[in-house]
Structure 1
Amino acid sequence: MNIGIIGATGKAGDLILKEAQERGHEVTAIVRNRTKLQHDVPVIEKDIFDLTKEDLSNFDVVVNAFGTSPDQGQPHIDAARILTKALQGTNTRLFVVGGAASLYVDEDKTTQVIDTPDFPDAIKPMAGGMAKALAQLQNAADLTWTFLSPAVEFDYEGGRTGTYQKGKDHLITNSEGNSYISYADYAIAVLDEIENKEHINERFTIVGESK
């Protein structure tokens, strides 16, 4: 497949790019600064907020691994709006590296992770912005998308186990009762879903074992 990765120099984007390359996909890095890129791949050097249909519609999948600091939420909302506009009415699938804050912790879907007492205030802006970005996708017409929420503990230093469990809209835990996934296993899940197309126009989540 022909895959474009927005934010390919970030932690998640870099690992997703590596995983896609190792599986033999054609990969293009979509970044603001090509000098930060560690891989020899085609590059679109452009800010996410300036991307257009012409930039993106030739890809089979566009992965949005765009990141912000924890105190910024509006950029995620704006990015969702811009990418939705660019990809509506095309055959290009939008795959969003999402957040865990919008996962539900109760069966009736009345309480999200962000609403729980222990959720850190410092990251609420970013978490809330990503939750609103998901809502935009869920309400978008004529758009093919997938949103993957990681576990609450999203561990960049964690090992690659090659295995994970999937859920939909609710927080899930591993055998130790923890909501955990490593970045390496998350990247595997992203490419598995891109290839298998099991969650079209929906959000799903994953959890893994620590290594």
Structure 2
Amino acid sequence: MKIAVVAANGRVAKKVIAEALDRGHEVVAFGRHAENDTQAKEYIKKDILDLTKEDLAGFDAVVDAFGAWTPETLPLHSTTTQHLADILSGTDTRLLIVGGAGSLYVDPEHKVQLFDTPDFPEAFKPLATAMGKVLAELRQRQDVKWTYISPAADFQADGERTSKYLLAGEMFTLNSKNESIISYADYAIAMVDEIEQGKHIQQRISVVRA
């Protein structure tokens, strides 16, 4: 498969690229920095908002790994995702979003999200809210083959690669050890599995260490 990874120099993106390459996929990395800090042999220096339909033509999947954390840049989560969605509108190219855990639901009625709960850290609420908005906006689009993949609440950059994960849906899910945890490496495995299988078009899924 031919896969584009956008915002490719981020830590999650680099794990996804490495996983896809290990499985023999063709990967093109897109980033705004001059240097290629990924394992991809083909790297294109271009900001997300400058990408065009032509740039992403012919790909089977596009992975959106954009991340922003400051108050002034948080709205870019929505802006960049919608730009990619507009580019891919009406095509067979799938858009896979590296999502957040805060928008997962904690009640069967899907009325209360994790970031609404009393114990959710205040410091992470702005980011969780921004990522939740991305998901809400994607739900309004029937013209794009999107999939939003939420990690577990404890998303560990340097966590162990176990090669095992539980695939869940909209609900905040704990494993048998009562944990909500996953490493970037195991998340990347789940991401590439979804790219290959394409079982959750226009859905949000979530992953937690098995």
Give TM-score scaled by structure 1 length.
0.95
Q: Residue type matched to 2:99 in 1?
A: G
Q: Does the Cα contact within 8 Å between 1:70 and 1:124 map onto a contact in 2?
A: no
Runs of 4+ in 1 over 4 A off after TM superposition: none
Pairing of 1:1-211 with structure 2 (within 5 A):
1-69=1-69, 71=71, 72-209=73-210
CA distance in 2, matches of 1:202, 1:69: 25
Query: Alpha carbons of 1:7 and 1:186: their partners in 2 closer, same or farther (altered >3 Å)?
Result: same
Q: Residue type matched to 1:163 in 2?
A: K
What displacement does 1:207 show? Answer: 0.7
CA distance in 1, matches of 2:40, 2:6: 16
CA distance in 1, matches of 2:38, 2:94: 25
CA distance in 2, matches of 1:82, 1:117: 34
CA distance in 2, matches of 1:98, 1:129: 10
- Percent identity over the alignment is 45
CA distance in 2, matches of 1:31, 1:107: 39
Q: Does the Cα contact within 8 Å between 1:70 and 1:123 map onto a contact in 2?
A: no
CA distance in 2, matches of 1:70, 1:154: 19
Q: Does the Cα contact within 8 Å between 1:34 and 1:43 map onto a contact in 2?
A: no
Higher mean C-alpha deviation, range 104-113 or range 119-128 = 119-128
CA distance in 1, matches of 2:28, 2:113: 35
CA distance in 1, matches of 2:40, 2:150: 29
Q: Residue type matched to 1:54 in 2?
A: E
User: Deviation string for 1:15-69 (max 9, x for gaps)?
Assistant: 0000000000000001001314242511221111211211112211000011112
User: Deviation string for 1:180-208 (max 9, x for gaps)?
Assistant: 11111000000111111111110100110
Name stretches of at least 5 consecutive residues in structure 2 with no aligned partner.
Answer: none
* Partner SS for 1:63: strand
Q: Does the Cα contact within 8 Å between 2:28 and 2:40 map onto a contact in 1?
A: no
User: Deviation string for 1:117-142 (max 9, x for gaps)?
Assistant: 12122222221111111111111131
Name stretches of at least 5 consecutive residues in structure 1 with no aligned partner.
Answer: none
- Aligned residues, how many? 209
Q: Residue type matched to 2:24 in 1?
A: G
Q: Does the Cα contact within 8 Å between 2:102 and 2:129 map onto a contact in 1?
A: yes
CA distance in 1, matches of 2:95, 2:144: 8
Q: Residue type matched to 2:171 in 1?
A: H
* Partner SS for 1:158: coil
Q: Residue type matched to 2:14 in 1?
A: D
* Partner SS for 1:76: helix
CA distance in 2, matches of 1:172, 1:75: 28
CA distance in 1, matches of 2:167, 2:70: 26
Q: Does the Cα contact within 8 Å between 1:64 and 1:94 map onto a contact in 2?
A: yes
More helix per residue? 1
CA distance in 2, matches of 1:70, 1:152: 20
CA distance in 1, matches of 2:70, 2:14: 20
